[in-house]
Amino acid sequence: MPAPFPFSAIVGQDEMKLAVLMAAVEPALGGVLVLGDRGTGKSTAVRALAALLPPMRAVDGCPYHCDPAQRCGHCTPGAKTVTRPVPVVDLPLGASEDRIVGALDLERALASGQKVFEPGLLARAHRGFLYIDEVNLLEDHLVDLLIDVAASGENVVERDGLSVRHPARFVLIGSGNPEEGELRPQLLDRFGLSVEVRTPTALPERVAVIKRRDAYERDPEAFEAQWAKEDAKVRRRIVRARAQIKDVAVDDAMLMHCAALCQHLGSDGLRGELTLMRAARALAALDGDTAVQLTHLRRIAAPALRHRMRRDPLDDTGSTERIEKAAAELWP
């Protein structure tokens, strides 16, 4: 397997890169939805993120690589603690429900008559990231399944004489081209941040993309080594932010700003305020700040709210423009 394309070498797409970094720092955000043109680095950024993440502590041999401090009940008693990479699992568009949730291990059932559960992709993604490319083309019954698991943090399998319950807490990252189909509102609402990516229009930027991609394809190892220092800086930034985020202050004034913006825009429910607050806190931690400020709210208001706004058929203004206009009015 060639080395992944370095995260730091991705040209432009700053909003997308910042969003996945915030999701890495604050899993409670609820994941990231990346929508835009084909060939704009959506899947490249997600796969590059995997190489950036510091390893995690897990119970050796546990099929769900659970945290040693919170053993899941499926671990071998007395198993030692090991370190392993944070899982970043691809969910193929044509994957069956059995492959996703897990199923009866037919080989062992036929050979020994034992009913043994074979964990699926949700088990592999526990404590990591589940990536779905072309998420807007996912079948409805799989969308319902993912909504249930994402909400509960637990996967329940009741079939073929099996009754299994295991942890499945992951950061959901989806990408797709909105021209190929819309995402169901129930799943859309589960994503914490929604990012729009576009084909670069500046010629120097387009040339830089071509040069870097060509250099990577010619010699992936050499290209990775060339960007190793920059990726190491980003990794240290993630580690510092994870350690600092619990101490980042969010005062009542900032919460009032969050609520006022969501109310002004008419976003449904209170998930918008919560996401706005969590995203601002993650951004402050990444920036090394000790408290959330209006500057943080301004920077993440659009990705936190653009997919939560009601559509107005009489208003041709895009969601991003409406949010920026509202923020300018409320936070002069």
Residue range 198-210: average pLDDT?
87
pLDDT by residue (tens digit) across 70-129? 777 777 777 788 888 888 888 887 888 888 888 776 666 566 666 777 788 888 888 888
Among residues 271, 281, 298, 310, which one is catalytic?
A: 271
271 flagged as catalytic: yes
Residue range 5-11: average pLDDT?
88
pLDDT by residue (tens digit) across 155-184? 888 776 777 788 888 888 888 887 777 777
* DSSP state for residue 126 in the 8-state scheme: T
> Across all residues in the chain, what is the average pLDDT?
84
Q: Which two tokens stand for residue 263?
A: 């109310």
Burial (0-12, 13-18, 19+ Cβ within 10 Å), 71? middle
Taking CB atoms within 8 Å and a gap of at least 24, the contacts of 317-323 are 320/196, 322/265, 323/261, 323/265
Q: What's the pTM value of the predicted model, to 2 decimals?
A: 0.85
Q: Does the pLDDT of residue 267 top 60, yes or no?
A: yes
